Amino acid sequence: MSSLDTSTAKPGLRERKKQQTRDAIARAALRLFAERGYDETTLAEIAEAADVAPRTIFAYFESKEDILFSDEGGYLNELKRMLDGRPAGTTTVDALREFVACMKSPDEDDKLRKKVIMANPGLQMKMRARHVQLEPMLAESIARDLGTGPDDIRALLIAASMTAAFESVSDRFFQAESGGEPITHAQSMAILDEVLEFLRGGLEAIQHE
């Protein structure tokens, strides 16, 4: 995924120092994963590169996998906040479009992280397993649009379509599995917007049945 703009009030000094340490660990790990390979990199090597004690890593991350995918949880939490807090009269598609509008163009760390993941089949499976969490979240929200329960097959299918759209555009942007021509961030956001607009039409048609 691309970076998400979640600007808030300026944190205190202690919080800033903790965030700086967390960021230093994540950056050091990412560089080592790219240079040596994810499986070949040890937590001790990450600690040395980040200039922290090995035990310090566990104050911020549970494992190497947690370091690599540290941003994913933030995306899901922010999306859930938008879906749960959407005003009456706004749909899941409206919330998703707002979420997409907040996404920034991927920086070099985002691109390097994607490269590390796509070079390791095991990490690809773990990434997709994490994205599975997105479907039930969307299905629950779509069911609210339809006035039904989250086990409504229609909500599940629409949620699966939305998730697939995000993954496909992300892969295309990073020249990943598709092998097609690369697209810009602006183009990827425009494609997502078109897909969401298409799904909006289908959702509205079901609502008016």
Over residues 72-89, mean pLDDT: 84
Return the pLDDT at 60: 94
DSSP annotation string for 52-119: S-HHHHTTT-SSHHHHHTHHHHHHHHHHHHHHHTPPTT--HHHHHHHHHHTEEPP-HHHHHHHHHHHT
Among candidate residues 44, 63, 82, the one where a domain is terminated: 63
41 and 79 inside one domain: no
Residue with more model confidence, 201 or 21:
21
Same domain, 156 and 94: yes
Q: Write out pLDDT tens, residues 124-150.
A: 888 888 877 888 889 999 998 888 887
Same domain, 157 and 85: yes
**CATH number for the domain including 35?**
1.10.10.60
Percent of the chain with pLDDT over 70: 84
How far, in Å, are 66, 75, 104, 145 from residue 5 at the CA level?
A: 21, 10, 7, 26
Number of domains observed in the structure of the chain: 2
Q: What is the distance in angstroms between the CA of the first residue and the CA of the last residue of the chain?
A: 35
Residue 3's φ and ψ, nearest 5 degrees, are: -65, 150
Indicate whether 43 and 98 sit together in one domain.
Answer: no
Model confidence at 160: pLDDT above 80: yes
